[in-house]
Homo-oligomer: A and B are copies of this chain.
Amino acid sequence: MFFKKADITAMPTRYRANFINSLSGFKSANLIGTSNNRGQTNLSIVSSAFHIGAHPPLMGFIFRPDIAERHSLDNIRETSVFSVNQVSQTIYKQAHQTSARYPRDISEFDQVGLTPAYVEFSKAPYVLQAELSLLMRLREEIPLKINGTHMIIAEIEGVQLDENFIAVDGFVDIEAINTVAISGLDSYHSTQRLSREPYAKP
């Protein structure tokens, strides 16, 4: 079947959200850990994290200011730091629960039963139960006028990870630490490696 622009526009809001969110393919599953300057913590699942570059090591995130992610975005603006914690099969239901609209002064860490932990150089709480955590520093915020979302570009300043999951060429086996993938708004998936492919030559 072929859906034209008018067909998409005519879809009911929630139906269209489910539909369009499925079309980009599988998404990453990460928990964003933040705190404000008074130490009030916040934890929010995002499927919008994406790789921007390796040197400097940069990741991007799309934040919608009108939903739960708002508290995370405010904290990132206030402290310039946050953590990114890969969601594994062990914690994905708790991770999903952080998407509920808790009041600002309630910590999702407490509500969903995950433990905030800290490294010496950052105010940002990371998730003790995550197998892979990144400490990030805000580098740029780009408002996207086209739909009112905000893109955050941040630099990786620290990586917490068991070195047994790093291959000799630097590849990290995120399947071995049971990282999940997301499709649409709410579907969680485990993975099975098909292959690593060699560097392609004509």
Contact B139 A146 (CB under 8 A): yes
A115 CB to nearest B CB, Å: 17
Q: Which of A22, A86, A102 has the most CB of B within 10 A?
A: A22
Majority SS of interface residues in chain A?
mixed
Contact A156 B8 (CB under 8 A): yes
Measured in the bound complex, the distance between the Cα atoms of B199 and A50 in whole Å is 24
Contact B174 A183 (CB under 8 A): yes
Partner of A193, one of B22, B106, B149, B189: B189
Set of chain B residues within 8 Å of A26, measured between Cβ atoms:
26-29, 174, 179-181, 191
A25 CB to nearest B CB, Å: 3
Measured in the bound complex, the distance between the Cα atoms of B93 and A49 in whole Å is 25
Q: Which residues on A are within 8 Å of B, measured CB to CB?
A: 1-5, 8, 11, 13-30, 47-60, 62, 64, 84, 86-87, 89, 92-93, 96-102, 106, 111, 119, 132, 134, 139-140, 142, 144, 146-147, 149, 151, 153, 156-163, 166-167, 169-172, 174-175, 179-181, 183-202
Chosen A-B contacts, 6 in total, with CB atoms closer than 8 Å, are A18-B169, A20-B51, A20-B156, A26-B180, A100-B202, A188-B194
List the 8 closest pairs (A to B, CB-CB), nearest first. A25-B28, A22-B172, A18-B170, A15-B170, A189-B191, A20-B54, A26-B181, A19-B170
